[in-house]
Structure 1
Amino acid sequence: MTTTNFFDVIIIGGSYAGLSAAMALGRSLKNVLMLDSGTPCNAATPHSHNFLTQDGRRPAEIAALARQQVAQYGTVQFRSDPATGVNRPGPHFTVSTLSGQVFHSRKLIFATGIKDLLPAIKGFSDCWGKSVIHCPYCHGYEFRNHKTGILANGPIAIHLATLVRNLTSDLTIFTNGAPQFTAEEEQRLQQRNIAVVQTEIRELQQSGGQLQQVILSDGAAIPLKALYARVPFEQQTPLPAALGCSFTEQGHILVDGMQKTSVPGIFACGDAVSPMRSVASAVAGGNLAGAMANHELSQEDFIAPVS
């Protein structure tokens, strides 16, 4: 095995979590290869919020600055070449890429994110990340005191309503079918003047991604400025599953408090492991994953026989 294709750690995924992990490892002089597909989860979002020192900046600007800073550490290499296959034929991992390259490493970090599965509602994808949003912490302040909707049902709708009602007094839940609330939940919604609409949504009328009104299947139109939606998702890559990593009931990669997966030597971070979808959360998880991967490597080297 030549030194040109062997690394201490290969990081699959080069957005905020992956870059944060790479910085922690680079500062510890570990040889790192980052493989990136260039498709971050928040590509449609114009501005990032709730991240100290970066509040309101474009996500792409944050990522570009992060990459520039990580590149200062000479032991970190970048390749815009997505990983397509991973196996572990021996003590080390073997990673193949879209271009046909093959690399090897002692540890793996998955920072691959997730892929949102958007509903087939006209105008939904145009608004996603702009005025159809997933998180009140990331976007809610910008839509405070405006007509706001929640596209969800059951416990998720109640969870969002408890958070969003603090930001607006004009709130409507769209269940897209029969409501799935308990009698107690229905009473609380009524007492707090939160309307519930069960007629299915046919279209989101918008301009430049900014929501104007919701058109229901019966033709009724409801003006809105923002719509919260929890859409289903899938992992951006099947590679963690192929390696035997365990997953949560929600579909995230299962990790412990140190970002370790169920497979020894494999760490994961970012949106792939957590429902807390924010740049700040991804950076924190990536930093910990990088530090823990470095800890394992350093410990292994320290106890290894000296030749």
Structure 2
Amino acid sequence: MENKNFDVIIIGGSYAGLSAGMSLGRSLRNVLIIDSGKSCNRQTPHSHNFITHDGKAPTEIAKLAKEDVAKYKTVRFYNGTVVKTRKTNDGFEIETSSGENFHAKKLILASGVKDIMPDIPGFAECWGISVLHCPYCHGYEVKNEITGILSNGDMAYEFSKLIFNLTKKLTLFTNGKAVLSKEQSEKLEQNKITVNEDEIKEIKHENGSVRKIIFKNGQEVSLQALYAKIPFEQNVNASDDLGCERTEQGFIKIDMMHKTNIPGVFACGDNVTMMRSVANAIAQGNFAGAVVNKELSDETF
């Protein structure tokens, strides 16, 4: 790529990054979108709760989005991985795994998060298909089915309240001793939600569709769907390189204008919020792109 200098570099070219790119491209900003092509929902067959695209494959939505953004000639794409980010006197320098370096006045972190799978055979194969992270994205499709929740403590209790609205055939699997309060346990029992503390050995499935949970004690339970809250880490280390602050939950900390604590660095998408959805990522990217354009305009007027 001949041009190495840009107004804005966007790290991450999925929904948030592409949406930010469109905002900036329509404002005639020279933009580079760097993406490795490994979105967190690449295994998910259908995306929901996004008007005009409800039920489409996430890969199809991303493909259409990239085609739309590519129409704006000031936006360029680079297929690769960012390995180092540095602050310079007049902006930021980005180094990729192939050794190429790019420079920008502003930086948008839209690289998402990486889910850390538990050591349970079958879990990763079902993730995004029948092992689900979000009732808003997938709950309607498994309403009234025999459903489980893999979680513990306060998060398990709050998650149970949401899922209970979608199905009454509900079991909470804590995969070990439950750490629920007395009041939480009584409320779950009152609503006939079973709490199973047996340790899980594996998840039996057919092409990613959950069939059974097998426990280490030899017991098993049949299921059609399983919700799970699992830990995550930031997908790239750019925010660490720059010293961006994190929230207690591990998200990049931003203000209402999507600004991080580092001047010139913005963030949007799954890396800043627990509300992980295609629609939300697109909305955040659209807004972040507009804010960055406004800052560039203020600085050059």
Give the TM-score, by structure 1 length: 0.96
CA distance in structure 1 between the partners assigned to 2:37 and 2:286 by the alignment:
20
Partner of 1:168: 167
Cα deviation, 1:257-276, whole Å, max 9, x if unaligned, reads: 11111100000111111111
Q: What SS does the aligned partner of 2:203 have?
A: strand
Partner of 2:46: 47
Partner of 2:123: 124
Partner of 1:114: 113
RMSD (CA atoms): 1.1
Decide whether the 8 Å contact of 2:83 with 2:237 is kept in 1. Answer: no
Partner of 2:189: 190
TM alignment of 1:211-226, pairs within 5 A: 211-226=210-225
CA distance in structure 1 between the partners assigned to 2:206 and 2:232 by the alignment:
26
Cα deviation, 1:18-38, whole Å, max 9, x if unaligned, reads: 000000000001110111111
Structure 1 residue 81, shift from structure 2 partner: 2.0
Q: What SS does the aligned partner of 1:87 have?
A: strand
Decide whether the 8 Å contact of 2:84 with 2:237 is kept in 1. Answer: no
Q: What SS does the aligned partner of 1:218 have?
A: coil
Q: One-letter code of the match for 1:180? A: V
CA distance in structure 1 between the partners assigned to 2:214 and 2:99 by the alignment:
48
CA distance in structure 1 between the partners assigned to 2:72 and 2:264 by the alignment:
23
Partner of 1:305: none
CA distance in structure 2 between the partners assigned to 1:181 and 1:104 by the alignment:
50
Q: One-letter code of the match for 1:188? A: K
Cα deviation, 1:38-68, whole Å, max 9, x if unaligned, reads: 1111111111000110100000100000000
TM alignment of 1:23-102, pairs within 5 A: 23-102=22-101
Aligned-pair identity (%): 53
Partner of 2:145: 146
Partner of 1:291: 290
Q: What SS does the aligned partner of 1:271 have?
A: coil
Partner of 2:5: 6
Decide whether the 8 Å contact of 2:203 with 2:214 is kept in 1. Answer: yes
CA distance in structure 1 between the partners assigned to 2:277 and 2:269 by the alignment:
9
Gaps of 5+ in 2: none
Q: What SS does the aligned partner of 1:22 have?
A: helix
Task: Out of 144-153 and 74-83, give the one that drifted further.
Answer: 74-83
Partner of 1:179: 178
Q: Runs of at least 4 residues of structure 1 off by over 6 A?
A: none
Structure 1 residue 154, shift from structure 2 partner: 0.6
Structure 1 residue 89, shift from structure 2 partner: 2.6
Cα deviation, 1:208-234, whole Å, max 9, x if unaligned, reads: 100001111111111100110001111
Gaps of 5+ in 1: 303-307
Q: One-letter code of the match for 1:215? A: I
Cα deviation, 1:166-225, whole Å, max 9, x if unaligned, reads: 111110000111111111111111110000000111111111100001111111111100
Asked if residue 251 in structure 1 is aligned to residue 250 in structure 2, the reply is: yes
Structure 1 residue 83, shift from structure 2 partner: 1.6
Partner of 2:207: 208
CA distance in structure 2 between the partners assigned to 1:250 and 1:173 by the alignment:
23
CA distance in structure 2 between the partners assigned to 1:95 and 1:209 by the alignment:
37
